[in-house]
Structure 1
Amino acid sequence: MKIDDIEYVYENTWFITCSNQPYYGGGMIISPEAKPDDGKLNLTIVYNLSRYKLLLVFLSVFFW
Structure 2
Amino acid sequence: MTTLDNFKIQIQEMMDIDYRSFIVALVSIETGETNKDKLHTLYDTYMDSDDVTLLNEFFNK
Report the TM-score when normalising by structure 2.
0.29
Report the TM-score when normalising by structure 1.
0.28
Comparing both chains, which one has the higher relative contact order based on Cα–Cα distances under 8 Å and sequence gaps of 6 or more? 1
Question: Which structure: greater helix fraction?
Answer: 2
Question: Which structure: greater strand fraction?
Answer: 1
